[in-house]
């Protein structure tokens, strides 16, 4: 997976489920296929759910909004970790990759 890494930055992540519950965390890894997120608390979403995702590389920076499917969730003693796989069209994937390569600069969604 390291060969697929796009950026070494650790973006802030907001994940919203169908019921409008928002989980906050920080990306542990961000690739062309998806991302792994460390969450501050257990999420309301479940494995297989389609979720809305918003990413930012720093406070006040432009954000990027996209969608992903929850691949797995692991609850630990100190934090909860989850893996999300992008569920976007080829054009959206291209825009997402450009945003990631630019370190979060450019298109704000």
Considering Cα of 57, then 61, then 62, then 67, what sign does the dihedral take? positive
The per-residue pLDDT for 44 is 93
Residue 60 in this model has a pLDDT that exceeds 80: yes
How remote is the C-alpha of 16 from its chain's centroid?
A: 11
Model confidence, pTM = 0.81
Cβ partners under 8 Å of residue 87, min gap 6: 50, 67, 68, 69
**Domains located in the chain, CATH noted:** 2-98 (2.40.10.220)
The per-residue pLDDT for 87 is 93
């Amino acid at each position: 997976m390291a060969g697929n890494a796009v950026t070494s930055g650790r973006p802030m992540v907001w994940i919203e489920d169908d019921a409008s519950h928002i989980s906050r965390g920080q990306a542990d890894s961000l690739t062309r296929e998806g991302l792994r997120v460390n969450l501050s608390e257990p999420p309301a979403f479940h494995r297989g759910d389609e979720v809305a995702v918003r990413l930012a590389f720093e406070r006040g920076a432009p954000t990027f909004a996209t969608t992903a499917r929850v691949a797995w969730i692991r609850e630990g003693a100190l934090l909860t970790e989850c893996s999300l796989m992008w569920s976007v069209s080829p054009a959206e994937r291209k825009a997402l990759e450009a945003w990631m390569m630019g370190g979060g600069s450019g298109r704000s969604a």
